[in-house]
Structure 1
Amino acid sequence: MKIHDVIQGTLEWKTLRLGIPTASEFDKIITSAGNLSSQAPAFAARLVAEIILGRSMEADLSNVDAISRGNELEPMAALAYEFEFGVTTEKVGFITNDEGTIGISPDRLVGTDGMVEIKCPFAPAHVLYMTQGFDRKYYPQVQGQLLFAEREWNDRVSYSDELPLYTERTFRDEPFIKKLDEALKNFHELKMEMLEKVRRAGSLDLGAAA
């Protein structure tokens, strides 16, 4: 595990993420049921394009209302969580495996065992979280964060400035983590095979032009 001391959202942070899978998109590699995702080849192709072209292929979401709301309210959500549970949280920039081929961006770390993932949805979505819990589709992200941050539990928090705080704790699921780890290794091999084919095609084109 490597912790990179960067500020999330900055150019340095974006550069570290370029061309590698991050936790928020682990569901494109493995489903919440532990099966390989049909989205994996397309996702690998996108990351290969990022490596070759040197720029992100993610859609620019900086002006979307929900994203703006989250950025604005996250500090207050963290304070509300700290007050509720009597803990102190710590910001973290970016965490990768030792090889730098996989990364995660947790919202906060708690002590030596925990972490926090914060959402600041509009009221209707917050009510759904309060009454139905978090959607299972986030499971690969949550377990992936636990794997690469080497933590025991992950508190998912939904914060509303009008309604009570909702928190849902998820512990390490070792059987799922084992499947996730294997799926990520296979995905890396797929991505590197694609990258090699693209680079080889480029070399052949240059040779023909010469």
Structure 2
Amino acid sequence: MSDELVIYDCEQGSDEWFQARLGIPTASEFATVVAQGRTKGAPSVTRRKYLLTLAGEVITGEIADKWEGNRHTERGKVMEAEARDAYAFLRSVTPMPVGFMRRGRAGASPDSLIGDDGLLEIKTKLPHLQLDVLERDVLPAEHVAQVQGQLMVSGRAWCDFVSYWPGLPLFVKRVERDDAYIRVLRTELARFLAELDSYVVRFRPQEAA
């Protein structure tokens, strides 16, 4: 993906942030883009739903799922700030907030930039899940596509993945850029976008002559 990187200086969750993401796949959903169906060779139901959602956004110009959140998401924001502060103290760094990063027709919203080469991605996990992450001591498989996708979009070399729950040890795992994985991801994204475009062409209303 050779397109120039564009960074939107906006607050994540703001109107500008939602608008910047409209109609393009983003790193938080890259696992959906590469998802396979339960039966070998069968299409993924979640992938098709995401494809149609983005096609609908392109055709209508309207954001499909502008969710305002609830008390759980508000608590998550508080814990994310706690995790960021704990990480910053542990690594003696100053995380820099970032709004939205876009390269071509793909985007990402890392939780912070670290120096010139790094990213920070924070997840809050319930105690039993946090203990499992701590014991396994690897980047959880469900987050690989998002983390490598963020590195693909940003062009950066590494991402520190942080998992947090109050009262339990902070989990930090540095994930290096995996160019082999990113090549596969780019291929899957190109296929996904070609399918998205076909829906837009088929179903976008024709302008009156």
Match of residue 52 from structure 2: 45
Deviation, structure 1 residue 150: 0.8
Q: Is the 8 A contact 2:130 2:163 kept in 1?
A: yes
CA drift of 1:31 comes to 4.3
Give the counterpart of 2:90 among 75, 84, 94.
84
Q: Give, as a single letter, the amino acid of the residue that structure 1 aligns with 2:27.
A: A
- Report which stretch shifted further, 38-47 or 147-156: 38-47
Matches within 5 A, 1:23-172: 23-31=27-35, 38=44, 39-58=46-65, 60=67, 62-63=69-70, 65=72, 67-97=73-103, 99=104, 101-132=105-136, 133-172=138-177
2:24 aligns to what? 20
The number of equivalent residue pairs is: 199
Q: What is the SS of the residue equivalent to 1:56?
A: coil
Q: Contact 2:88–2:95 (CA<8 Å) still a contact in 1?
A: yes
Give structure 1 regions of 4+ aligned residues with deviation exceeding 4 angstroms.
Answer: none
Q: What's the C-alpha RMSD, in Å, of the aligned pairs? A: 2.3
TM-score by length of 1: 0.86
Separation in 2, partners of 1:37, 1:79: 42
Counterpart Cα distance in 2 of 1:84 and 1:52: 46
For the residues of structure 2 that align with 1:115 and 1:93, how far apart are their CA atoms? 13
Residues 140 and 36 of structure 1, relative CA distance in 2, 3 Å threshold: farther
Aligned pairs for 1:164-203 within 5 A: 164-199=169-204, 202-203=205-206
Structure 2: stretches of 5+ with no match in the other structure:
none
Q: Against the structure 1 CA distance between its residues 194 and 64, is the aligned structure 2 distance closer, same or farther, given a 3 Å change threshold?
A: farther
Counterpart contact for 1:29–1:37, Cα < 8 Å:
no
SS at match of 1:167: strand
Q: Which runs of 5+ in 1 are unaligned?
A: none
SS of 1:3 mapped into structure 2? strand
Deviations 1:127-153 (A, max 9, x none): 122113442021111111011111111
CA contact (8 A) 2:111 2:121 kept: yes
1: CA distance between counterparts of 2:192 and 2:176?
A: 25
- 1:30·1:37 contact (CA, 8 Å) conserved in 2? no
Corresponding letter in the other structure for 2:74 = S
Give the Å deviation of 1:85. 1.0
